[in-house]
Structure 1
Amino acid sequence: MSTTPLELARPRTRLKPPPLRLPKAALWRAASPLALLALWQLSSSSGLLSERLLADPVTIARTAWELAREGVLGEAIGASLRRAAVGFALGAAAGIGLALAAGLSRVGEAALDPPMQMLRALPLFGLIPLFILWFGIGETPKVALVAFGVAFPLYLNTFAGIRGVDGKLAEAARVLGLSRTALIRHVVLPGALPQTLVGLRQSLGVAWLALIVAEQINADRGLGFMINDAREFLRTDIVVVGLLVYAALGLATDGIVRILEGRALAWRRAFLGR
């Protein structure tokens, strides 16, 4: 390709990327946790907070480093992630599948929604003795408890999202000659997606909450086992390390869903506050 004299005379400038600056909002959000951490350390160092009740942040950080170096923490996280992933996959498939069957059909709603509402009212952790009787004390009751907790937030939100689709859009699709399959694919499912993603975030929180309890039921590995074993020896530092890892995993999975939500719903402008 030939170059014109005008292009040769034009000065070439390189666009410099803008400097990376930490936004003020991030500084304000980090200020209160850092202040609480400093107050915690000060209370422990001064003796106001007994080490038997709660270890200080420095001790907890040192314990976390030792557990990670010995491989104990990595093994526990891996076992917990496997249980959470299997339970979440089963619960999400059941919740979304039942919501589609109930939301897209009046017959499905009449058949599925009443028992789902009844089961939703059952206390999740009250089912543990029944699950142990049904499935034994191995991995199955732990995964089943996570799946049971995950299914209902996704069912409720997906069902509400389907029924909340604007009827005018469905009517316009019928006028344009869209088949029922095309109507569901191009109108109903995209319209229900925002509500489904809300249910996804809620179900992830329930999954980690159920896993904390499930892993303390005759477990021989996982974060819950590590916490329960540390409780027997009054090791509050290990207990706090396990709880912090649970919190970090929950925050990470929620952040992933928020990123997916931002990309999938880029067309929708939301109120960001002032």
Structure 2
Amino acid sequence: MSDSTLALAPPVRTVAQLAARAPRRWQWPLGAVLPLVLLALWEMLARTGALPPNLLPAPSKVLGTIAELARTGELWPHLGLTLARVGAGFALGSLAATALGALTGYAPLARRLLDPLLQGVRNIPSLAWVPLFILWMGIYETSKVVLIAVGVFFPVYLGLMSGVQGVDRKLVEVGRMYRLSGLALVRRVFLPATLPAYLVGLRNGLGLGWMFVVAAEIMGANKGLGFLLVDGQMTGRPQTILASILLFAILGRTTDAGLVWLSRRLLRWQDTHGTNE
């Protein structure tokens, strides 16, 4: 075969490349199998009367409730306000956690001064903050956003602090041999080494943010998915409660998928066991 023929021939994918592409292509369909099976079983049991409709209505009725709320326009203010609260709380909690996590991880003196106090605060139950935040900030948006930020803060803080502490000492010494110091050492050594732990902390923090928004919206909110959930309980509408729970699950999974996508882009340089998944 001549050189010109080889130049025109399409590139041949190796077995490893094809194997790397296949799992990702089937990831979403495979991940949907179990939820669809459970939904089908739930629907069947509800239609046959095995599940009492006043306690656990069929999925079709729950989806119909969501569709009706969307059609009348009632859903969108609840959805938008919950997203705004989680977004603001996540941003505030992540920024504070990034600053303190980096400081306590990098500076031993700051860790000895700050970490014992933060670890003590971390063990306070989330609902214990509710009356205090209402007393300090009222029942308006500030108290809700701050409560969500508290939930987000600790996973991000712990992830980043442990990531900084876990940086290999030899990498730091090599960086100093190349006369890296200050911001250059942080950018070239600490940032790549701590990024995986930091991104995992962000995912955990976002998950807790979605949990804390329910507590935040229970304390005096008149809009939001948490309010919709409580309203369904007070008026005896289990389909509304389940619709709110389903929407929380969808929104939480969607935002988490966004962080997973970002993590893959930022960690493309890694060659790990999960790279090809």
Q: TM-score, normalised by structure 2?
A: 0.88
The equivalent of 2:243 in structure 1 is: 241
Matching residue's letter, 1:137: I
Q: Distance in 1 between matches of 2:232 and 2:137?
A: 27
* Alignment of 1:96 onto 2:81: no
Q: Distance in 1 between matches of 2:246 and 2:123?
A: 30
User: CA, structure 1 residues 14+62, in 2 after alignment: closer, same or farther (shift >3 Å)?
Assistant: farther
Shift of 1:269: 2.1
User: CA, structure 1 residues 180+14, in 2 after alignment: closer, same or farther (shift >3 Å)?
Assistant: closer
Q: What are the within-5 Å matches in structure 2 for residues 68-217 of structure 1?
A: 68-217=70-219
User: CA, structure 1 residues 57+167, in 2 after alignment: closer, same or farther (shift >3 Å)?
Assistant: same
The equivalent of 1:263 in structure 2 is: 265
The equivalent of 1:64 in structure 2 is: 66
Q: Distance in 2 between matches of 1:219 and 1:252?
A: 24
The equivalent of 2:228 in structure 1 is: 226
* Alignment of 1:43 onto 2:45: yes
Q: Deviations over 1:103-139 (max 9, x none)?
A: 1212211221111111111111221111111111111
Shift of 1:14: 9.6
Shift of 1:262: 0.8
Q: Deviations over 1:23-80 (max 9, x none)?
A: 5555443332222111111111111111110111111111111111111111111000
Matching residue's letter, 2:180: L
User: CA, structure 1 residues 75+45, in 2 after alignment: closer, same or farther (shift >3 Å)?
Assistant: same
Q: Distance in 2 between matches of 1:175 and 1:28?
A: 49
User: CA, structure 1 residues 223+43, in 2 after alignment: closer, same or farther (shift >3 Å)?
Assistant: same
Shift of 1:188: 0.7
User: CA, structure 1 residues 25+150, in 2 after alignment: closer, same or farther (shift >3 Å)?
Assistant: closer
Percent identity for Structure 1 against Structure 2: 39
Q: Distance in 2 between matches of 1:124 and 1:36?
A: 31
Shift of 1:159: 0.3
Q: Distance in 2 between matches of 1:246 and 1:26?
A: 19
Q: How many residues align?
A: 265
Q: Bigger radius of gyration, 1 or 2?
A: 1
SS at match of 2:220: coil
User: CA, structure 1 residues 24+102, in 2 after alignment: closer, same or farther (shift >3 Å)?
Assistant: closer
Q: Distance in 2 between matches of 1:22 and 1:149?
A: 32
The answer to which of 121-130 and 194-203 deviates more is: 121-130
The equivalent of 1:30 in structure 2 is: 32
User: CA, structure 1 residues 264+225, in 2 after alignment: closer, same or farther (shift >3 Å)?
Assistant: same
The equivalent of 1:3 in structure 2 is: none
Q: Distance in 1 between matches of 2:146 and 2:155?
A: 16
